[in-house]
Amino acid sequence: MSRERARRRAEREAERAREAAVRAEREARAARRRELRGRVTAVLPRPVRVARQGGYRARRRRTQNGVLAVLWFLVQVLAWILLDSWMARLGVLLVSLLLVPVLVTIVFDRRS
């Protein structure tokens, strides 16, 4: 009976040793990866976080810009659906790109 217990204990200890070796290898790999990442990020410039303006005017301007983008996109889609000529489609694209700043200034009174 004691031989059987000793054999099972030896098997458990061997299994623990294998698990410990696997865990040590995994931790060593993670440490190498962290060290490499640290060396790489030390060379790279830190990203600058720009906080969004949260006031009423900023929200209104974001909404206006979103509406303008959707309308511009719809004009382009309609031009591509309704017009067969590539020159006409290109003309609509160029005219809309030139008119957007003018319309923004006229409609939303942005004089900056």
Total-model pTM: 0.51
Give the pLDDT score at 52.
Answer: 77
Long-range contacts (CB closer than 8 Å, 24 or more residues apart) made by 7-15: none
Give the pLDDT score at 110.
Answer: 66
Residues of the chain with pLDDT under 70: 110-112
Tens of pLDDT, residue by residue over 26-49, are 999 999 999 999 988 888 888 888
C-alpha torsion sign, points 36, 39, 42, 44: negative
Sort 58 into a burial class: Cβ within 10 Å, 0-12 / 13-18 / 19+: exposed
Q: What is the domain partition of the chain in residue ranges?
A: 1-50, 56-108
Please name the amino acid found at residue 49: R
Element (H, E) at 76: helix 56-82
